[in-house]
Amino acid sequence: MADYLPHTREDVEGMLAFLGLGSLDDLFAHIPEAVRLSGGLDMPEGMSEPDVAAQFSRYTGANRAKASMMTCFAGGGAYDHEVPAVVKMLGARSEFVTAYTPYQPEVAQGVLQAIFEYQTMVSRLSGLPIPNASLYDAATALVEGLNMAHGATGRSKMLISAGVHPHWRAAAKTFARGTGHEVVEVALREGVTDWSSVDATGVAAVVAAYPNYLGVLEDMTVAEQLAHENQGLFIMGCDPVAAGVLKTAGQWGADIFVGEGQPFGTPLAFGGPYLGLFACTTEQIRRLPGRIVGETVDSNERRSFVTTLRAREQDIRREKATSNICSNQTLMAVTAAIQLGWLGTQGLREVAIRCAQGAHYLYAELMTVDGVSAVSNQPFFREFAIRLNRDASEVLSSMAHDGVLGGLSVSALCEGDDQSVPEEISKVMIVTVTERRTREEIDHYVDALRKAVSQ
């Protein structure tokens, strides 16, 4: 609590010394003992911000329809993480909300420094040295990564694991149709990418997801070797929250990192706006899409920030630009930086651990439910796929009546996809647990699912 008080212990001691007093109690010596409080207040212990918010939600719940109080266990690229009040407040400041490109550094040092801090955090999350100032979303980031790989190698063949999110792969296919690139999808076997019979000759990039869209944590070693032994680039699509406890893309040997930044301060809101995370090796810096904020000194030798390496951008060399990213996601990037700064390294680790612990507890409980089985026996982080004894959409509808948003139907998520789908796809759904979910909510989920599959 001392972190939130305006005066340090040294401040207090200095003021007391100035007044000639020995303690804070001496300030109230003129008040009779009979009317002074002694022994402290009879109050319960303090609560965390999420717990306080949940308590008040229960108080106001009598005034809301049950549907608006559904507990979220859905994920698949959009996650119900806690957004602290401080993030909402600072992110709503007018200096950040009006987040147009800071072309004039002399009047935009605040925003430029905020972007610079964001880039530093993305570099740490990715384990790669060169991040950009943000992209539109993870799918856009993947497309930009493929474009970078093409520019670096002069090749057009892209190998993409079917474990990469179906929507990201759909964006990659759209990109390929317009550029003439060849996208080769590598199918899954029991939830894991089967690289065994892949021909990587002449490949520009190998793309894998960590974890994949079914939640499985695949070993990235084979994908990395496949790319580099054939002089291609290795692109990893990562869950940035997992970086709190798992190896980073850089530690796996990736050349390019892409990810979705929505878990950091951006609430669920009808699909967007989101935040594309992107970082790469130093060798690819001049092919980096979007903006880069760099540190320099001004004419008075003061530390300052500017957009740098501008010759890559469309406003300098339109026909030779590395990309055509214009007004980007600066507001979401700054919000992510605020949340990551609020959490710190240890806080992010605690969030990741709570996600993993909750997911593994729920998984273990669900494996005891008749009519529920595992899709894969591979390790996972906070998301996993289960196979039901009936259509997943029917189960999800039943659970909604019990106030639970039970997950995502894989058949809906993978519509039109013939590479990544597990067997009996209509009976498979993906379940996600974030740090917001309590043990009581998880236990209620188990009861709701047991009821749904027994109908």
Distance CA 410, CA 408 (A): 6
Local structure of residue 201 (DSSP, 8 states): T
Mean pLDDT of 258-269: 95
- Provide the percentage of residues in the chain whose pLDDT is more than 90: 71
Q: Would you call 96 helix, strand, or coil by DSSP?
A: helix
Bridge-partner residues for 408, per DSSP? 430
Question: Residue 272 pLDDT more than 90?
Answer: no
Question: Global pTM?
Answer: 0.85
50-84+344-453: CATH topology: Aspartate Aminotransferase, domain 1 (3.90.1150)
Amino acid (1-letter code) at residue 170: A
Q: Would you call 46 helix, strand, or coil by DSSP?
A: coil
Cis amide prior to 6 (ω within 30 degrees): no
Give the residue from 176, 146, 151, 179 showing the smallest Cα distance to 258: 146
Give the residue from 154, 152, 141 showing the smallest Cα distance to 279: 141
Tell how far CA 446 is from the center of its chain: 26
Question: Residue 269 pLDDT more than 80?
Answer: yes
Indicate if the alpha-carbon torsion angle 119, 121, 122, 126 is positive or negative.
Answer: positive
Question: Residue 225 pLDDT more than 80?
Answer: yes
Q: Would you call 373 helix, strand, or coil by DSSP?
A: strand
Distance CA 409, CA 397 (A): 11
As annotated, the residues of the chain forming the CATH 3.90.1150.10 domain(s) are 50-84+344-453
Say if residues 340 and 351 touch (Cβ distance below 8 Å): no
Q: How is residue 454 written in tokens?
A: 């027994």
Beta-strand ranges (E) seen in 144-281 are 157-161, 182-186, 188-189, 192-193, 203-210, 233-238, 256-260, 276-280
86-339: CATH topology: Aspartate Aminotransferase; domain 2 (3.40.640)
Cis amide prior to 211 (ω within 30 degrees): yes
First to last CA, the chain: 50
pLDDT of 290 reads 87
Question: Residue 223 pLDDT more than 70?
Answer: yes
Amino acid (1-letter code) at residue 291: R
Mean pLDDT of 47-53: 85
> Dmax of the chain from CA atoms?
88
Distance CA 52, CA 300 (A): 48
Tell me the CA distances in angstroms from 3 to 8, 25, 45, one per residue in order. 9, 22, 18
Distance CA 103, CA 260 (A): 26
* Residue bearing tokens 């959490």: 343
Beta strands 130-131 and 256-260 are unpaired
Q: What is the per-residue pLDDT across 377-435, written as a single tens digit (0 to 9) for each?
A: 999 999 999 999 999 999 999 999 999 999 999 998 887 665 555 667 899 999 999 99
Q: Would you call 14 helix, strand, or coil by DSSP?
A: helix
Q: What is the per-residue pLDDT across 362-381, written as a single tens digit (0 to 9) for each?
A: 999 999 999 999 999 999 99
As annotated, the residues of the chain forming the CATH 3.40.640.10 domain(s) are 86-339
Helix spans in 248-384 (H): 249-252, 330-366
Amino acid (1-letter code) at residue 426: S
Question: Residue 2 pLDDT more than 80?
Answer: no
Element (H, E) at 306: strand 303-307
Tell me the CA distances in angstroms from 242 to 220, 235, 352, 354, 411, one per residue in order. 15, 17, 6, 11, 26
pLDDT of 3 reads 56
Bridge-partner residues for 44, per DSSP? none
Mean pLDDT of 244-268: 97
Distance CA 99, CA 105 (A): 13
* Residue bearing tokens 């790669």: 128
